Amino acid sequence: MKIHEFQAKETLKKYGVPVQDGYAIKELSELDKALSSLKAAGINQFVVKSQIHAGGRGKGKIYNADNRAELVLEGGVKFTKDENKVREYAEKMLGNILVTHQTGPEGKKVKTLYITEGLDYKKELYVGILLDRAVSKNVIMASTEGGVEIEKVAEETPEKILKVWIDPAIGFQPFQARQLAFGLGLKGTAFKNFIPFIMKLYNAYEETDASLLEINPLVITNDDRIIALDAKMNFDDNALYRHPEIAAYRDLDEEDPLEIEASKYNLNYIKLDGNVGCMVNGAGLAMATMDIIKLAGGEPANFLDVGGGANKETVANGFKIILSDPNVKAILINIFGGIVRCDRVAQGVIDAVKEVNVTIPVVVRLEGTNAYIAQDMLKKSGLNFEVASSLKEAAEKVTAVIG
């Protein structure tokens, strides 16, 4: 699960991580109160930040929600010392469409603004924490190249990214924090302030069951404070039951409606841009299915993993989700009968097709226990199935029926 920057900073603040003061608003009528609170704290320069689940906000473009051809504002993050400018930026951002390199051309509607303290600083850094699956350890990455896409740094100047792996048996150690500080070239007060900062940041990552914690940029202020100027946090969905306060941050407006609907039925669904709907059991098999569809000349319209129990209910719900995408012209069902027998899957598919009224071609490939019995059941069902005996044949058949 992803959360907004202002929510990530609320979370980090609980763990003692230094962040800017700021207030989230959803209506322009809330702006005066936010400004008054900041001024009461002695703040006289401000940043207006669009809140969407995408990066590149500062370099994005704001378009009129009613006339998307009309450019309203360059940039979804604006710094100013002028209160009138704060109001101008807020009016142009809130309710309009922000397009960044991560949103695609359709962009995302800005429904929340974060009005924060504007800081003077002398250096931008990068810090990120995530799991390195290759070694089964958390890794802290740091770079002197803050404020730019870390992917670009990794591609063009990988030597500028420092990495420290954390042994889960002993946890993050102070000497590793010092190793990062030395690697970033920090000295004096900035060095001393970085050590507790990174220790608290890692603690926040672990304690919240985060899957990603990224600070870009992390800034060194003119008086050598270390501040998280931006914050991105993703969380392990399977651990959210332990963190109801974080689960409450979920913003359904930022998620695909079909993915939300699929989650109600415990289906793992991700919408893609193709025209071949995929219904598969197992994430690895789903990835292989999408690959072979592309090799056959087709384009997968989704990732859909129905899990180990492919029965009538899960298959019927899977059909409903897939058919909600108007781009889908055919469906490929690829099920391996291990936990569940293929003949039971076949009966579930037959019953589901009758219930849902599927009107586009369906290609079915079942492999595993009782696969031949299942194929015979499908052929004798009287329904419009194309039955394949191999994954290659299934991919070729589904791309052929689309034409």
Distance CA 317, CA 351 (A): 12
Structure tokens at 59: 């370099």
Residue 104 in marked binding region? no
Q: Does the annotation count 126 as an active-site position? A: yes
Q: Which helix (H) or strand (E) holds 97?
A: strand 97-99
Burial (CB < 10 A; 0-12, 13-18, 19+), residue 188, is: exposed
Distance CA 224, CA 194 (A): 9
What are the residues facing 137 on neighbouring strands?
132
* CA 130 to chain centroid: 14
Residue 57 in marked binding region? yes
Distance CA 91, CA 86 (A): 9
Q: Does the annotation count 265 as an active-site position? A: no
Rg of the chain taking only CA atoms, in angstroms: 25
Residues 6+ apart with CB under 8 A from 184: 125, 142, 143, 144, 162, 194
Residue 124 in marked binding region? yes
17 phi/psi in degrees, rounded to 5: -80, 125
Decide: 392 and 355 in contact? Cβ < 8 Å. Answer: no
Distance CA 363, CA 333 (A): 6
What are the residues facing 334 on neighbouring strands?
280, 365
Distance CA 192, CA 223 (A): 13
Decide: 25 and 31 in contact? Cβ < 8 Å. Answer: yes
For the chain, what is the total number of helices (H) and then of strands (E)?
A: 13, 20
Residue 230 in marked binding region? yes
Interior CA angle at 14 toward 11 and 20, to 5°? Answer: 70
Residue 213 in marked binding region? no
**How are beta strands 77-80 and 46-50 bridged, if at all?**
antiparallel
Residue 338 in marked binding region? yes
| The one catalytic residue among 214, 367, 386, 396 | 214
The residue assigned the tokens 């409903």 is: 320
* CA 140 to chain centroid: 20
Distance CA 44, CA 284 (A): 53
Interior CA angle at 324 toward 319 and 329, to 5°? Answer: 75
| The one catalytic residue among 63, 126, 205, 249 | 126
Residue 49 in marked binding region? yes
Residue 281 in marked binding region? yes
Catalytic (active-site) positions = 126, 214
Residues of each annotated binding site for Mg(2+): 216, 230
Residues of each annotated binding site for ATP: 49, 56-58, 119, 124
Residues of each annotated binding site: 49, 56-58, 119, 124, 216, 230, 281, 338-340
Residues of each annotated binding site for substrate: 281, 338-340
